[in-house]
């Protein structure tokens, strides 16, 4: 520049940037060129991360996008011949060209924290409020949570929320220990946000009319509308699933693949030959390992000292891992570079890997929290669901593998997958016991819902619902007395809650107990009401 200082001229137009309208500092990842080699890194330096201040001439921000659901500051950034010193390169000019590495290392940890936390917080809110609503709302004289169609969804919400919280703690523990797991963080981002979207949809189905009528008492509507935000930001889940997870993991996590690549790039024949031969050995060992695991249904897998009720899941996950390792080697040998464009196939590989990780997270949580017997129902549901997804992923891989090997897999392997599955979906009995874990206002319910804000003062929405849920749980023993008296024909037929006065008069319950039942009934009726607006409120202007 005219002052003798090395500078960078930036031209850019960036959309969808969180906090862009209010930030006074931004990082721009740019493709940096240096025609005169002023920085000494060559002409085409490549991706570089550069800091730019809000008041820089040529740089403009402040416009807003309007995100769906709950609004937050998000908008575009514009640069037209914006000039910044070369010292604004993150790490200084000597770090020019290292932007891609910076971005990947930053995402390696960050993707496992913020978006998963938001998604899982939302899932826990859905679990707490849906479990409560399923017992507060009645139909045909029964809590709707006792109707099997509703119960099936409540059980799924409970089991998957337990699994998701387990994965969050597992990944954050790795970060606390100093690891930067790029593949794990990608799995966490993609699958927690997608599962949270599925969970809130299930919750909306249970709440039905109370979910779709907007107003201060609507609990899930805003979360339902904003669910696509988490799925979209920090890389759309489609890209994360089909390009990043298996694309990064197949090389970075393989014991020999990256070394073979490095040997080729460095023209180190000995290194290349040594690791390629080791890779072939790894492949043949994988064939044997997968075959033995399949024949024994995982009983040859070494299992640590864990709860007896969960050992079978460790064996199944070990079996799945053996098959996944073999199928990864086969894909890298038989399909090779074409994997980069086979997003549908690599997405299925990502599913198989992700659900193994999520399943193991649930097992780890069960052990870390002291093997709580009351949580076994959630563990059984979560692991059956996870292993069923792994099974389905392998079926898809076999059905879509390329070439002669693919034909052999479809001819011989698919039948074996069906006859000898790694996992099957949770049973009706499992969904019943999983649902029960969030259908009583007790210590387990409060523990499963910890770390999210749950008002208890009867305020509109969640507070009103949880107050009714607590009161209804407290009067269950009293209602049991009334039901017994009805069976003995000492009381008339009808909803037990409406017979409190008669039951007190006949000595079935005490007067104080009758007051509790009456209060619980009033709270129930209040909690299921939705917002109503006068015409002058409804029509604006």
Residues carrying an active site annotation? 234
End-to-end Cα distance, the chain: 57
Report d(CA 150, CA 267) in Å as an integer.
Answer: 62
Residues whose CB is less than 8 angstroms from the CB of residue 146 and which lie 6 or more positions away in sequence, other chains included: none
Report d(CA 53, CA 95) in Å as an integer.
Answer: 19
Which pairs from 448-451 meet CB under 8 Å and 24+ separation?
448/124, 448/127, 448/128, 448/158, 448/161, 448/162, 449/124, 449/127, 449/128, 451/121, 451/124
CA angle 182, 186, 190 (to 5 degrees): 175
Burial of 43 (0-12, 13-18, 19+ CB in 10 A): exposed
CB 370 within 8 A of CB 307: no
CB 255 within 8 A of CB 285: no
Report d(CA 291, CA 396) in Å as an integer.
Answer: 19
Phi, then psi, of 3 in degrees rounded to 5: -90, 5
Per-residue b or e along 303-319, where b marks 16 or more CB atoms closer than 10 Å to that residue's CB? eeeeeeebbebbbbbbb
Which pairs from 213-218 meet CB under 8 Å and 24+ separation?
213/530, 213/531, 214/531, 215/530, 215/531, 215/533, 216/460, 216/461, 216/531, 217/460, 217/461, 217/464, 217/529, 217/530, 217/531, 218/461, 218/530, 218/531
Q: What is the CA radius of gyration of the chain?
A: 29
Describe the crossing of helices 311-334 and 245-252 by its angle, rounded to 10 degrees: 90
Distances (CA, A) of 377 to 158, 447, 513: 10, 15, 32
């Amino acid at each position: 520049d005219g002052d003798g200082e090395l500078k960078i001229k930036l031209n850019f137009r960036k959309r969808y940037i969180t906090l862009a309208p209010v930030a006074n500092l931004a990082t721009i990842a740019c493709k940096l060129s240096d025609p005169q080699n002023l920085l000494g890194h060559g002409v085409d330096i490549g991706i570089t991360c550069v800091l730019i201040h809000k008041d820089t001439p040529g740089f403009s921000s402040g416009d807003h996008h309007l995100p769906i659901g709950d609004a937050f500051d998000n908008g575009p950034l514009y640069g037209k011949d914006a000039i910044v010193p070369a010292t604004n390169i993150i790490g200084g000019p000597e770090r020019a060209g290292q932007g891609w590495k910076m971005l990947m290392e930053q995402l390696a940890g960050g993707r496992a924290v913020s978006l998963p936390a938001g998604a899982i917080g939302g899932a826990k809110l859905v679990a707490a409020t849906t479990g409560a609503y399923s017992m507060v709302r009645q139909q045909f004289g029964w809590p709707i949570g006792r109707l099997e169609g509703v119960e099936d969804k409540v059980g799924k919400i409970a089991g998957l929320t337990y699994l998701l919280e387990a994965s969050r703690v597992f990944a954050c523990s790795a970060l606390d220990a100093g690891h930067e797991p790029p593949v794990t963080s990608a799995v966490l981002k993609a699958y927690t946000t997608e599962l949270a979207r599925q969970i809130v949809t299930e919750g909306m189905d249970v709440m039905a009319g109370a979910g779709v009528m907007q107003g201060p008492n609507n609990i899930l509507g805003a979360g339902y509308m904003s669910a696509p935000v988490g799925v979209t930001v920090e890389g759309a889940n489609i890209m994360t699933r089909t390009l990043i997870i298996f694309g990064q993991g197949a090389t970075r996590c393989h014991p020999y693949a990256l070394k073979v690549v490095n040997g080729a790039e460095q023209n180190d024949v000995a290194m290349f030959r040594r690791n390629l031969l080791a890779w072939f050995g790894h492949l043949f060992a994988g064939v044997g390992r997968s075959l033995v695991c399949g024949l024994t249904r995982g009983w040859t897998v070494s299992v640590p000292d864990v709860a007896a009720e969960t050992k079978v899941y460790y064996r199944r996950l070990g079996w799945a891992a053996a098959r996944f390792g073999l199928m990864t080697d086969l894909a890298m040998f038989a399909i090779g570079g074409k994997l980069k464009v086979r997003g549908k196939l690599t997405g299925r590989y990502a599913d198989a890997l992700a659900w193994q990780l999520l399943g193991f997270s649930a097992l780890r949580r069960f052990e870390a929290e002291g093997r709580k017997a009351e949580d076994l129902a959630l563990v059984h549901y979560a692991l059956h669901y996870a292993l069923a997804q792994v099974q389905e992923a392998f079926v898809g891989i076999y059905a879509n593998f390329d070439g002669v090997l693919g034909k052999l897999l479809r001819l011989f392997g698919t039948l074996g997958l069906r006859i000898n599955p790694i996992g099957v979906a949770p049973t009706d009995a499992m969904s019943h016991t999983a649902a029960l874990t969030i259908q009583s206002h007790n210590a387990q319910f409060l523990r499963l819902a910890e770390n999210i804000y749950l008002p208890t003062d009867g305020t509109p929405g969640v507070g009103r619902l949880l107050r009714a849920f607590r009161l209804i749980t407290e009067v269950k023993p009293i209602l049991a007395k009334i039901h017994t008296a009805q069976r003995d024909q000492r009381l008339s037929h009808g909803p037990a809650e409406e017979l409190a006065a008669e039951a007190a008069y006949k000595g079935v319950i005490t007067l104080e107990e009758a007051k509790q039942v009456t209060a619980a009934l009033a709270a129930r009726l209040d909690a299921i009401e939705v917002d109503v607006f006068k015409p002058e409120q409804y029509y604006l202007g």
